[in-house]
């Protein structure tokens, strides 16, 4: 077998393997859509009935009306967008400082800041809850937004990207009399659209799916985000699984749309910042 034929066979095997893996990862999503169109009894039939005999579209109507779903969608959108914009801004400023501004102890400060990624949220959630209660942020979206706009991951990601920007470009801007803020916003930011877009996508997705923080800080149903709204289908003696599935499908639509329109920037940003896996 010559090298070209061997290479073609290897590619075919690789593509088949990736296709199988892709289908396996799609099964939970397909099952969720299928379950959202069934009755509660049909959902637990085994073997799994992938295509329901009757499509119960009323599950979507019930999920939409029973939990003030439009308000929950608005709350999730508001919190996610504000946190995403704030996190991109703060991460860009801190990442630029660590990557391009020389100051005493820069590397030590960055390593210390990076080390905080190893501290899980469960360790700090009680002290944070006590602090927020004392300053009156409980049952307020600010309890989600204020800590959410700062992220170690975002600083690390953008720092890695900014380090790849030639210093000669920045020095030329300084010679022209541009301040550090001007260099960042007029030079560095326009050159970093891919990395910024990637961070924005990651942040929006993480915040949209966040359940623990809203569960801790929000009490009023008028403030509930999508994950909390879905949890209201789980009652004391009854869990409406089909409505949970229908609500989950609805909640995925904004995330899927964001990914479809920005996947090009996501791939570019990951490749250019050296984040792989």
Residues in the chain: 277
> Which pLDDT score, from 0 to 100, does residue 76 have?
92
> Which pLDDT score, from 0 to 100, does residue 83 have?
94
pLDDT per residue, tens digit, the chain (277 aa), is 566 666 777 788 888 888 888 888 888 888 888 888 888 787 777 777 778 888 888 888 888 877 778 888 899 999 999 999 999 999 999 999 998 888 888 889 999 988 888 888 888 888 889 999 999 889 999 999 998 898 898 999 889 888 888 888 888 888 888 888 888 888 888 888 888 888 888 899 889 988 888 999 988 888 999 888 888 887 767 778 888 888 888 888 888 888 777 777 666 656 555 444 3
CATH H superfamily, domain 65-273: MetI-like (1.10.3720.10)
> Which pLDDT score, from 0 to 100, does residue 266 have?
67
Measured CA to CA in angstroms, residue 161 lies from 85, 146, 273, 276 at distances of 18, 25, 5, 13
Measured CA to CA in angstroms, residue 55 lies from 3, 29, 50, 52, 63 at distances of 52, 17, 11, 6, 15
pLDDT digits (tens, 9 = 90+) for 47-71: 777 788 888 888 888 888 777 788 8
Residue 50 phi/psi, 5-degree rounding, is: -70, -35
**CA 89 to CA 149: how far, in whole Å?**
8
> Which pLDDT score, from 0 to 100, does residue 277 have?
38
Query: Who's near 220: CB < 8 A, 6+ residues apart?
Result: 139
**CA 180 to CA 140: how far, in whole Å?**
35
Question: Cα torsion at 34, 35, 39, 43 (round to 10°)?
Answer: 120
Query: Who's near 148: CB < 8 A, 6+ residues apart?
Result: 79, 83, 86, 87, 207, 213
**Location of structure tokens 């009490």:** 219
The structure's pTM equals 0.81
């Amino acid at each position: 077998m010559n090298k070209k034929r061997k290479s073609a066979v290897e590619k075919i095997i690789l593509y088949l393997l990736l296709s199988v893996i892709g289908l396996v990862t799609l099964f939970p999503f397909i099952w969720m859509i299928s379950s959202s169109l069934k009755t509660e009894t049909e959902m637990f039939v085994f073997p799994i009935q992938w295509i329901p005999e009757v499509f119960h579209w009323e599950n979507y109507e019930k999920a939409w009306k029973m939990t003030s779903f439009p308000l929950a969608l608005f709350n999730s959108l508001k919190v996610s967008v504000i946190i995403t914009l704030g996190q991109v801004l703060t991460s860009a400023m801190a990442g630029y400082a660590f990557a391009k501004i020389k100051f005493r102890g820069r590397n030590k400060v960055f390593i210390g800041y990076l080390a905080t990624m190893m501290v899980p949220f469960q360790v700090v959630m009680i002290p944070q809850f006590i602090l927020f209660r004392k300053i009156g942020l409980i049952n307020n979206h600010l309890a989600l937004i204020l800590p959410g706009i700062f992220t170690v991951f975002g600083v690390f990601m953008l720092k890695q990207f900014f380090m790849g920007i030639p210093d000669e470009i920045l020095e030329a801007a300084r010679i022209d009399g541009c301040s550090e803020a001007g260099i960042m916003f007029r030079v560095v930011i326009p050159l970093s659209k891919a990395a910024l877009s990637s961070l924005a996508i990651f942040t929006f997705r993480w915040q949209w799916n966040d359940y623990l923080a809203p569960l801790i800080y929000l009490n009023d149903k008028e403030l509930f985000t999508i994950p909390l709204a879905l949890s209201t289908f789980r009652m004391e003696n009854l869990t409406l699984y089909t409505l949970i599935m229908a609500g989950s499908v609805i909640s995925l639509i904004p995330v899927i749309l964001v990914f479809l329109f920005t996947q090009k920037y996501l791939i570019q940003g990951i490749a250019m910042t050296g984040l792989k896996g």
